[in-house]
Structure 1
Amino acid sequence: MLELKNVSKSFGSKKVINSLDLTIPDGSILAIVGPSGGGKTTLLRTLAGLETIDSGDFLLDGEKFDPVSSKNQEQVVGVVFQEFELFPHLNVFENIVLAPRLALQEEKEVYTKKAEDIAAQLGIESLLQQYPYQLSGGQKQRVAIARAMAMDPKVLAYDEPTSALDPALREHVERIILGLKQQGVTQLVVTHDMTFAENIADNLLEVSEIN
């Protein structure tokens, strides 16, 4: 179970997260909905260790952890960012295995099997030798999800997973997220799309811009 207790974050005089308490039970999906400026993406960046918080605590199964100083081998939250951030000079397989190979220092046979298994799970096994420029938006997103999953995070988080896709693909994204839930993956989704959130989430958290 992932918990946030009294977490706050400001940029200068602007407070973007204010004394946030949050609990995400294992295997559940929490959707955080609200307009731009509500701190949703900042929250994901703090969970991924890309931003520090000003105060508060993160806990996993009751034990405090610091996303910034946690070792790669102990990654708690894997984030699929809105722009996917795939490396254009690497093919799909290389994008997926880069972090397990370098950060986790896994052996070739280990990270290769992991990449193949995750690719099959997400229906992208036929794309492993292709490059990002050859992929559709939906395919890039599945590769980004695969890359995050390859680090074995305790929680998989998404930043606006439907914003860069055609409306017709929203149901496909829903099926991916709900399919991962059936496999026991704990997930956190930030979105402005209330209908999408209601379709996938066990729990909803609505945020508003802090003035």
Structure 2
Amino acid sequence: MIELKDINKSYGNKKVIDHLDLIIPDGQILAIVGPSGGGKTTLLRTLAGLETAESGTFLLDGQPFDPSDTKQDQVVGVVFQDFQLFPHLSVLDNITIGPRLVLKEDKETYLKKARNLASLLGIEELLDNYPFQLSGGQKQRLAIARAMAMDPRVLAYDEPTSALDPELRQQVEKLILDLKADGVTQIVVTHDLVFAENIADELLKVEPIS
């Protein structure tokens, strides 16, 4: 379980996160919804250690942790809105680059993990392909596999249905719910309230701070 206590974040004089308390139980889906400027992505980036909170405490299973500490195991893995795949690397190499270079796993371990994740996410036939050869939905599955390969406690998505047609949105819904059935704890940042209500165990509605 991840717990946030009294988290605050500002950009200059602009308060973005104000004394936030939040609990994210293991195996559940939290959807963070609200308009642009409400702090959804900032909260996600702060949880992932890509932004630093000015004050407050982060707890993992009751023990304090610093999301920005690169020397500890990754707690939150992010699937970015634009995927941020490496175009010059194959699907397999995109999945394995983190476990190989950051986690320092041996070849047998990271290859087995990559193949298992590719099978779980339905891209096992695409391991030799490159990102430009993939559809939007396949790129998203690859981005999820790459994030999961780092063994995070929580998988987080920034606007996963942005610019997707209704059929692809339903596929993303199913994928997120399938991962929940496998015990994956997930955070979804979205402006799409209907999508959020379809997948979430809990909704956190945020608004810009005046």
Same fold (TM over 0.5): yes
- Give the Cα separation in 2 of the matches to 1:193 and 1:108: 40
Equivalent in the alignment of 1:36? 36
Task: Give the aligned partner of residue 189 of structure 1.
Answer: 188
Amino acid paired to 1:116: R
Root-mean-square deviation (CA, aligned residues, Å) is 0.9
Under a length normalisation based on structure 1, what TM-score does the superposition of the two structures give?
0.97
Gaps of 5+ in 1: none
Task: Establish whether residue 177 from structure 1 lines up as the match of residue 171 from structure 2.
Answer: no
Among all aligned residue pairs of Structure 1 and Structure 2, give the percentage whose two residues are the same amino acid. 71
2:125 maps to 1:110: no
Partner of 1:207: 206
In 1: Cα distance, 2:154 partner to 2:12 partner? 29
User: Residue 3 of structure 2 aligns with which residue?
Assistant: 3
Q: Deviations over 1:128-160 (max 9, x none)?
A: 111111111111100000000000000111100
Q: How many residues align?
A: 210
Contact persistence 1:82–1:164 (CA under 8 A)? no
Aligned to 1:55: 55
Aligned with 1:123: secondary structure?
coil
- Which residue identity lines up with residue 107 of structure 1 in the other structure? D
Alpha carbons 1:149, 1:156 under 8 Å: kept: yes
How far the C-alpha of 1:91 sits from its partner, in A, is 0.9
2:16 partner letter? V
2:152 is aligned to 153
CA apart distance, 1:121 = 0.1
Task: Name the residue aligned to 2:65.
Answer: 65
Gaps of 5+ in 2: none
Secondary structure of 2:21's counterpart equals strand
Per-residue deviation, 1:104: 0.3
Deviations 1:80-114 (A, max 9, x none): 11110001111111000000000000000100000
Residue 91 (structure 2) aligns with: 92
Q: How does 1:102-141 map to 2 (within 5 A)?
A: 102-141=101-140
Aligned-residue offset at 1:166: 2.0
TM-score in terms of structure 2 length:
0.98
The CA deviation at 1:70 is 4.2
The one-letter code sitting in structure 2 at the alignment partner of 1:124 is I
SS in 2 for 1:148: helix
User: What is the SS of the residue equivalent to 2:31?
Assistant: strand
Alignment partner of 1:82: what SS?
coil
Asked if structure 2 preserves the Cα contact closer than 8 Å seen for 1:137 and 1:164, the reply is: no
Give the letter aligned to residue 141 of structure 1: Q
- The equivalent of 1:18 in structure 2 is 18
Runs of 4+ in 1 over 4 A off after TM superposition: none
